[in-house]
Amino acid sequence: MSTSAVVMMIVAMVMVWGGLLLALINIKRSPEEVDELDTPAPGEQDRVPDEDAVRTGEPAAPGRRA
């Protein structure tokens, strides 16, 4: 490999690994806050979905508990 190829390889590696390191530091400093849309509505916490519906992607039958 020529000298310019080695230099470009090192620059690319520093950019990739440095970007990864900066992203990890950023995530550590400011973790994602829980959004109100992520929290279940009142009364939804005790509801258990139908196991067959979860596998097939269909909505659970009304009134049926697993």
Reported as a single tens digit per residue, the pLDDT across 10-33 is 999 999 999 999 999 999 998 777
Report pLDDT for 32: 76
pTM: 0.44
pLDDT tens digits along 29-49: 987 776 666 666 676 665 555
Determine contact, residues 44/60, Cβ cutoff 8 Å.
Answer: no
Q: Where are the domains of the chain?
A: 1-29
